[in-house]
Structures are given as C-alpha cells and as structure tokens.
Amino acid sequence: QVHLQESGPGLVKPSGTLSLTCSVSGGSVNSYYWTWIRQTPGKGPEWIGTIRFSGDTNYNPSLKRRVSISLDKSDNHFSLKLTSLTAADTAIYFCGRSPLGDYVDYWGQGTLVAVSS
C-alpha cells in the first residue's frame, strides 16, 4: 500500500517561497508520476503540476512562472517550490501518485498553508 505524507511550514509570508516535501513509502518514486494539487475551502481542487520518474515535469500554466517540482530518488520523496506568494496561494496542498501522469490514485492527507504576514 502506497502512503504519501506532506511536510512543510504551515505559515509563509507574502512574497516568500513555499517549500513542501512529499515522503513516499510502500512504493518508489523511481516509477510512476508524482503530482501536487491544492484546494481552497468550498472549491474544487486545482492541479499544480506533475513530475515523471525520469524528471520530466508538466506544470499548470497559471502557476508555471512560480512553480518548481523536483524528485529525490535517494530519499524517495518529491518536492514543491512556489515563489512570490500572495494570499491567493493560501490552500490545502496535497501530494499524490498518478499512474500515467493523469488522475491521482493515492493521496497524501494534505497540509494547510496560509500566506500571511
């Protein structure tokens, strides 16, 4: 059974950078695709981006200038960086596994990130 767990700060200042890590157990990041999604209360989820086991990435154009996703095969985790934060980036951030870079079949529990001074 694949298990994913997000970690990172719960509060980040405006104009700052968000860094989150997703630790994977029960499976290897050396296969499949790995995805970040966020959600604000009462709204549908928003796809942020996906990284393939090869390191190839695909980002949402609405965030592309500010987002970076990377893979650490030695430590079996992947990471999200989002720069130039505003209050609009306040959300619950989820990591997940995508079988072919499409839908998400395994999800982390999510971590709330607030952007505030």
Binding footprint of other proteins on the chain (CB under 8 A): 43-47, 58, 60-62, 94, 96, 102-105, 107-110
* CB closer to other proteins out of 13 and 103: 103
Of 10 and 117, the one with the shorter C-beta distance to other proteins is: 10
Q: What is the DSSP letter of 60?
A: -
- Considering the complex, what minimum distance in angstroms separates the CB of residue 98 from other proteins? 9
- Minimum CB–partner distance for residue 106 and other proteins (Å): 8
| Cα 2 to Cα 96: distance, rounded to the nearest angstrom | 10
CB 105 → other proteins: shortest distance, Å? 5
14 close to 115: Cβ distance less than 8 angstroms: yes
Nearer to other proteins, 8 or 45 (CB): 45
- Residue 35 beta carbon to other proteins: minimum distance, rounded to whole angstroms: 9
Q: Give 15 or 62: the residue with its C-beta nearer to other proteins.
A: 62
Q: What tokens appear for 96 in the block?
A: 């997940």
3-state secondary structure 75-96: CCEEEEEECCCCHHHCEEEEEE
Query: Judging by DSSP bridges, how do beta strands 77-82 and 18-25 pair with one another?
Result: antiparallel
